[in-house]
Structure 1
């Protein structure tokens, strides 16, 4: 028997592994004819509490084994964290498949940004041959889901659903499918492949475990902090016009040291979750803040952390007007007036990408 929430096989032996439920609880719920969820899914559903488990999904080999039975793949991508959730290694695995790109969390972007603009931006980034395969949606606001279902129903009677953790995949499926799956803002809720029927259609979607990554700021945070930091409403944004020798922090794990050679100072915006601290300071104070105020003044992390707990890297970029510097799993810098030189300090594995602006900097 599988847990209907996460897809893991029900087991009674190890509370730290997927599918565990105490035998007496299992027998009682079976006798009463109630839904049988594993202990982890039950606590997420009823109490919003995450039970840590030991689970390691080798997505590359596992995904290959799943793909053999499907021609159509639904790839859910987070528009807020596009650089962390659209990944070339996944794209390479999907070559030869009919991929529908579902760009989720439109509701997090500023309202002035149109669906057409987002779609054109995504089209350039993924070099899509068929724009119809790009669907801009908001599972939170129930936007764009009807047209997505109609497209899928035209294409196939079954599709594989993939995406990295925290892209809103389970929430999306719960909107369009008949069976309520476990909904959680915690990472890794879905542990095994789940078959879900789409409402009103002869169409089944097969949900896979969220793909774990190791190059996002989000990946460095504990599950409770991830839940806190993940944006739940329109992104926070702040405009900066720094003087020379200034440092701007976007949380405690991302530092921008800004320089410029023009007479006028550059202007840029930072976009991130409302729970992320934006803080500007003198360059000479920045080292002290990083060493003493991580998780205190500067969040994330969400609790006091030591500078020495992280291995840091520095990368330097020259940014022009209309360009953005994205920090995977955290947010981005958008240049309104440039050029400027920025040295970025982040933990060593964090992905940094210079890109064409998603949000027009002159808005």
Structure 2
């Protein structure tokens, strides 16, 4: 599989795929007329992301995303679905099978470099396969990788070449799962081009389908990320993203708790150990987050007096941008091997086999549930 050329002004921005225009600075795809002859040709928004880490907000129509996704079923192609292992349930595309029809799906699990190094990859692959099955997703293979750290990347490329069999390749996924990073690895390793897709921490960087031609006349198509507002990463202010998005291996935090104790993750979430025997819980979160423990009877007072200050992020001002917390009452079954998952933030593993009852507070709409343990 060889990349032959990078899309330019004839097909849209080489960074995000949006149609280029030079008339309205406030609309997507704006590029000064004087820059149209540059190679690669990228819009002003992508230029600012690449050079100043500044992602201006552009309204993206989610219906357009779904129409583009739905069109894949009428093609004969390979679908590469990229998910984020740190936020698997939050990043897997619900109902993907009905969008892609009978086309084969290669499930690429990205960002495995964020997990502790001792994690067994065979066990991790089995966990992913079971989760995919529960989602109704039929996959030809599950590949673990880190596009950023070049872990397992050769297997990703080999699998794409094997399963595409001379067909186009559609790369799909939720926002910020690493689609464009993975495609940039292909461009970098399999072509002499110096162009690349725009990548950033910010959700929704790719605004339209980007076609990357291959040497056999087919193409890799990078699609815009599906926006899921049940993920913490979609609703927090951009200044908070750096704190909650891990960029290096997670250091698990272990806490010994008695019933009637609470833990705050900044001012983003709260875990109450409502009932159960004395036991330990392990938190898997970005290393940039602070955890504060208190008695359940004092938790409301602590939050009221210290949210946005001692309990941060977010700041007092940023909290006003978030939905109010809602409570999730959850029962962790006996027998061990369960996590309490908060989409976009991380998870809490119950280490005891005794079971427990916990309440989890998180911004309204965020996905929270009990699952089989990832680690």
- The two structures have a TM-score, normalised by structure 1, of 0.89
CA contact (8 A) 2:308 2:316 kept: yes
Structure 2: give runs of 5+ residues left out of the alignment.
1-8
1:302 shift after superposition: 5.3
Q: How does 1:39-78 map to 2 (within 5 A)?
A: 39-58=44-63, 59-78=65-84
1:296 shift after superposition: 2.6
**Aligned-residue CA RMSD (Å):** 2.3
Residues 96-121 of structure 1: CA deviation (Å, up to 9, x unaligned): 22000000001001111021111011
Residues 149-175 of structure 1: CA deviation (Å, up to 9, x unaligned): 112212223210000011111111111
Q: How does 1:136-147 map to 2 (within 5 A)?
A: 136-147=144-155
- Partner in structure 2 of residue 271 of structure 1: 284
- Partner in structure 2 of residue 245 of structure 1: 260
Residues 75-115 of structure 1: CA deviation (Å, up to 9, x unaligned): 00000001101132334423422000000001001111021
Residues 106-149 of structure 1: CA deviation (Å, up to 9, x unaligned): 10011110211110111111128987511111111111121221
Q: How does 1:295-314 map to 2 (within 5 A)?
A: 295-301=308-314, 304-306=317-319, 310-314=323-327
- Partner in structure 1 of residue 175 of structure 2: 165
- Partner in structure 1 of residue 3 of structure 2: none
Paired with 1:352 and 1:48, the residues of 2 have a C-alpha distance of 31
Q: Does 1:176 align with 2:186?
A: yes
Paired with 2:125 and 2:156, the residues of 1 have a C-alpha distance of 14
Paired with 2:259 and 2:250, the residues of 1 have a C-alpha distance of 27
Q: Out of 345, 354, 357, which is 1:341 matched to? A: 357
Q: Does 1:13 align with 2:51?
A: no
CA contact (8 A) 1:153 1:202 kept: no
SS at match of 1:80: helix
Paired with 1:202 and 1:144, the residues of 2 have a C-alpha distance of 27
- Partner in structure 1 of residue 293 of structure 2: 280
Paired with 1:267 and 1:201, the residues of 2 have a C-alpha distance of 56
- Partner in structure 1 of residue 206 of structure 2: 190
- Partner in structure 2 of residue 224 of structure 1: 239
Paired with 1:210 and 1:132, the residues of 2 have a C-alpha distance of 22
Paired with 1:67 and 1:130, the residues of 2 have a C-alpha distance of 14
1:291 shift after superposition: 2.9
Structure 1: give runs of 5+ residues left out of the alignment.
none
> Using a 3 Å threshold, how does the CA distance of structure 1 residues 280 and 304 change in structure 2: closer, same or farther?
farther
Q: How does 1:25-174 map to 2 (within 5 A)?
A: 25-26=34-35, 30=37, 33-58=38-63, 59-127=65-133, 133-156=141-164, 157=166, 158-174=168-184
CA contact (8 A) 1:247 1:280 kept: yes
CA contact (8 A) 1:194 1:208 kept: yes
Paired with 1:256 and 1:228, the residues of 2 have a C-alpha distance of 19
CA contact (8 A) 1:76 1:161 kept: yes
Paired with 2:20 and 2:230, the residues of 1 have a C-alpha distance of 32
Paired with 1:50 and 1:228, the residues of 2 have a C-alpha distance of 17
Higher relative contact order (CA closer than 8 Å, sequence separation 6+): 2
Deviates more, 1:281-290 or 1:37-46: 281-290
SS at match of 1:155: helix
CA contact (8 A) 2:108 2:142 kept: yes
- Partner in structure 2 of residue 294 of structure 1: 307
Paired with 1:95 and 1:342, the residues of 2 have a C-alpha distance of 40
1:63 shift after superposition: 1.1
Q: How many equivalent residue pairs? A: 351
- The two structures have a TM-score, normalised by structure 2, of 0.86
Paired with 1:164 and 1:34, the residues of 2 have a C-alpha distance of 29
Deviates more, 1:160-169 or 1:50-59: 50-59
CA contact (8 A) 2:107 2:139 kept: no
CA contact (8 A) 1:251 1:300 kept: yes
1:240 shift after superposition: 1.1
> Using a 3 Å threshold, how does the CA distance of structure 1 residues 268 and 119 change in structure 2: closer, same or farther?
same
1:205 shift after superposition: 1.1
